[in-house]
């Protein structure tokens, strides 16, 4: 693995660690993120709209230019929604 790839992975891990700390410090973050995701599910620009509203209404900040960690988080939120739908 190249040092560039290692550096990228370290940055992603660091960003995700900060996010996990926020979620653990404020138990309302995860449910609020899921509520927002449900609201935009199926919308053509769901990811962008979710990121904007999550940033505006929680302690999580997702910049307009999504980092790899931001993209991973938003994809995981959508995957959880898909899992919910599969249960019903």
The per-residue DSSP string of 46-85 comes to HHHHHHHHHHHHSS----SS--HHHHHHHHHHHHHHHHHH
Distance CA 74, CA 29 (A): 13
Residue listed under structure tokens 């993120």:
33
The model carries a pTM of: 0.81
88 pLDDT above the threshold of 70: no
Q: How far is CA 26 from the centre of its chain?
A: 15
Which pLDDT score, from 0 to 100, does residue 49 have? 96
Instruction: State residue 19's pLDDT score.
Output: 83
pLDDT of residue 87 exceeding 80: no
pLDDT at 18: 87
- When comparing pLDDT for 85 and 25, which is higher? 25
Is the separation of the CB atoms in 58 and 32 below 8 Å?
yes
């Amino acid at each position: 693995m190249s040092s560039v790839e290692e550096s990228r992975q370290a940055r992603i891990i660091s960003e995700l660690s900060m996010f996990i700390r926020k979620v653990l410090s404020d138990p309302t973050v995860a449910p609020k993120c899921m509520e927002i995701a449900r609201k935009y599910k199926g919308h053509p620009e769901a990811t962008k709209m979710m990121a904007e509203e999550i940033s505006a209404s929680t302690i999580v900040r997702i910049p307009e230019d999504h980092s790899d960690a931001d993209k991973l988080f938003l994809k995981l939120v959508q995957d959880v929604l898909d899992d919910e739908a599969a249960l019903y």
